[in-house]
Amino acid sequence: MPRKSAAPMHESPITHNRIFEGKRILITGGTGSLGKVLLRRILTGKNGRPAKIWVLSRDEAKQHQMRLSFLKKPVATEEVIYDNFKQMVTFRIGDVRDFSTILSAVSKADIVINAAALKQVPTCEYFPDEAVATNIGGAENITRAVRDYPNNVETVVCVSTDKACMPVNVMGMTKAIQERIFLSAALTCEKARYIAVRYGNVLASRGSVLPLFHEQIKQGGPVTITDAETTRFLLSLDQAVDTIFACVAEGRNGETYIPRVASALITDVADILIGKRKIEKKIVGMRPGEKLHEALISHEEAGRSFRRGNYFVIPSIIPEIHPYDYRHEKRLKKQYSSKDSLLGKHGVEKLLRDNRVTIEDNPTFDD
């Protein structure tokens, strides 16, 4: 497969002054890998000092672990995070599937960031009803609570995935519908702004291929690869959080933000992690619901998408949602696919080393 120059990586971290100043923030599904980094970045106060942060999830063990991790005696550089955590953060046990829980949780929030999801592709294939209940039912509960009951919600952020673009699996299908539920809610709920972010594989999470490769290499192999031509978008957790911050700071009603990030052949990722070890690579075929290549913007979406700074923006497909004139924007000419802008092996090695996810770094992968 030919190697093309990769899309430039946006700088991280970024700062959008005061977007969280005095705000009350609800993070659903907030004990996952994204939620942890999102919370830590907000607690620095570099984007404004919130009045309150609620972390809602249904896993009490993860909440306890997260609480302990933030309450460890801080190094000097994290004293602000430590102090703000004690003053601002409250954990809530609850499930986005339960409307009464969501109704109570959003009642005092100004900003709602929905990171709750079933996101393992094979799991969703075997249990599609569960994926529908969380990814679609949860979105319906949030939009209904914001729309139909008294609250102060100003902004709702939908955290989505590249698998929602031209979906071929249950996870992607449910996330695609989730996007539409949130973004179309602006038609019936004028008091809140509904925006979305969509991105690919996060390097430090268990949703990526890295923890599987790490474990296989430690066991002596083989390293299993679905197909020699498989490509994926790769980004750091900070880049994922940057995308949320940019969307909250700049996003207009109904818009979806897409980070301009690198992509790579999965065989290159495996080769860099294996290094000089004598470990076999084995092609095992595609898993249920898996794609050979991912896309962040489809060909149909490209015709109404454009670049804004370090991001691509997809305006709502429903023209009544926004009064904005996009006619002057330079539209994309083709879909944004993981096969089009591949890093070579040197680029993949730099990306993995910069994000400290090589075997030698012995990283911890969060759910």
Predicted confidence (pLDDT) per residue in 173-222, tens digit: 999 999 999 999 988 888 899 999 999 988 877 767 888 899 999 999 99
Could you say which of 119, 163, 175, 339 is catalytic? 163
Dihedral sign (CA 64, 69, 72, 77): negative
pLDDT at residue number 12 = 41
Q: What is the pLDDT of residues 241-279, one digit of tens each?
A: 999 999 999 999 999 999 999 899 999 999 999 999 999
Query: Residue 27 forms beta bridges with which residues?
Result: 55, 113
pLDDT at residue number 367 = 65
User: How does strand 336-337 pair with strand 231-235?
Assistant: unpaired
Is the pLDDT confidence value at 9 over 50? Answer: no
Do you find a cis peptide bond into 222, omega within 30 degrees of 0?
Answer: yes
Instruction: Verify whether residue 72 is a known catalytic residue.
Output: no
Q: What is the pLDDT of residues 163-186, one digit of tens each?
A: 999 999 999 999 999 999 999 998
Q: What is the pLDDT of residues 105-157, one digit of tens each?
A: 999 999 999 999 999 898 999 999 999 999 999 999 999 999 999 999 999 99
Work out the pLDDT band at 319, boundaries 50, 70, 90: confident
Work out the pLDDT band at 66, boundaries 50, 70, 90: very high
Q: What is the pLDDT of residues 273-284, one digit of tens each?
A: 999 999 999 999
pLDDT at residue number 33 = 87
**DSSP calls for 166-204:** S--SHHHHHHHHHHHHHHHGGGT-TTSEEEEEEE-EETT
Q: Domain boundaries in the chain?
A: 24-199+238-260+298-334
- The CATH number assigned to the domain with range 24-199+238-260+298-334 reads 3.40.50.720
Cβ–Cβ < 8 Å for 257, 243: yes
User: How does strand 295-297 pair with strand 336-337?
Assistant: antiparallel
Is the pLDDT confidence value at 102 over 80? Answer: yes
Is the pLDDT confidence value at 13 over 60? Answer: no
Q: Where are the beta strands (DSSP E) in 41-126?
A: 52-57, 89-93, 111-114
